[in-house]
A and B are shown apart, each in its own frame.
Chain A
Amino acid sequence: AQSVTQPDIHITVSEGASLELRCNYSYGATPYLFWYVQSPGQGLQLLLKYFSGDTLVQGIKGFEAEFKRSQSSFNLRKPSVHWSDAAEYFCAVGVKAAGNKLTFGGGTRVLVKP
């Protein structure tokens, strides 16, 4: 069965600084990979996804992620963080044979300092 690990539970970053959130997955074949963001009291908003092709994926709000098969990773990055980026971020993996069942990581809560 597939699994997802987000090693960092909390990250604090200064406004304007860069941000990188780590995501490692376990699955025998190439999975479908997603990053979602959740603001307090809200549902999940899709930031970006990787299905195939170019391993560097651009998303909304200035986020990007890179799929590295050799490291089983799909890290999320943003060059310059804004205060509005404070939220919880979830990495998720989908498997072609499992339809739309997503397996989520535990999430990383991002705090932005002024």
Chain B
Amino acid sequence: KAGVTQTPRYLIKTRGQQVTLSCSPISGHRSVSWYQQTPGQGLQFLFEYFSETQRNKGNFPGRFSGRQFSNSRSEMNVSTLELGDSALYLCASSWDPITTDTQYFGPGTRLTVL
């Protein structure tokens, strides 16, 4: 079974631009979560989606948004990029969204904001 895939793997943007990252979960998994990883703040939860609905949201500004499609694929969008948005963005999928389930992570998208 294929793992979680994320595209693109690397991205370079400039301040003020916007960016969209994509995540395809493991087949059959219906919950997708996003995390931001930076050297200073570590791993921080962004949001979780299930059945095209956001179920959980972390403490990030409204510039960070996401969505989930009917096939469970998810995208996250960051508008008006800031230098501090440079990070590794990790997507994780799991089967059961009702209780805490084992999450499987993708390789991440490395975003660099210049």
Q: Are A and B co-members of a single complex?
A: yes
18 contacts between A and B (CB under 8 A): A42-B107, A43-B90, A43-B105, A43-B106, A44-B92, A44-B105, A45-B105, A49-B102, A100-B31, A100-B48, A100-B92, A101-B33, A101-B45, A101-B48, A102-B35, A102-B103, A104-B35, A107-B42
B interface residue numbers (CB < 8 A to A):
4, 31, 33, 35, 42-45, 48, 50, 55-56, 58, 90, 92, 94, 97-108
Chain A residue contacts of B31, Cβ below 8 A = 99-100
A interface residue numbers (CB < 8 A to B):
32, 34, 36, 42-46, 49, 51, 90, 92, 94-96, 98-107
Chain A residue contacts of B92, Cβ below 8 A = 44, 100
Cross-chain contact B42 with A36 (CB below 8 angstroms): no
CB distance from B40 to the nearest CB of A (A): 10
Instruction: Give B107's nearest chain A residue, CB to CB.
Output: A43
CB distance from B66 to the nearest CB of A (A): 14
Known: A43-B106, A44-B105, A99-B56. A104 touches B100 (CB 8 A): no
The interface residues of chain B, by DSSP majority, are classed as strand
How far is B101's CA from A96's CA once the two chains are assembled, in angstroms?
A: 9
Instruction: Give B43's nearest chain A residue, CB to CB.
Output: A104
How far is B106's CA from A54's CA once the two chains are assembled, in angstroms?
A: 29
How far is B102's CA from A94's CA once the two chains are assembled, in angstroms?
A: 10
Q: Which of B35, B42, B105, B107 is A106 in contact with, Cβ under 8 Å?
A: B42
Chain A residue contacts of B45, Cβ below 8 A = 101-103
How far is B92's CA from A102's CA once the two chains are assembled, in angstroms?
A: 11
Chain B residue contacts of A44, Cβ below 8 A = 90, 92, 105
Chain A residue contacts of B106, Cβ below 8 A = 43
Q: Which of B35, B100, B101 is A95 in contact with, Cβ under 8 Å?
A: B100
CB distance from A4 to the nearest CB of B (A): 10
Cross-chain contact A90 with B100 (CB below 8 angstroms): no
Known: A43-B90, A104-B43, A106-B42. A99 touches B107 (CB 8 A): no
Q: Which of A34, A101, A103 is most buried by chain B, counting CB atoms within 10 A of its CB?
A: A101
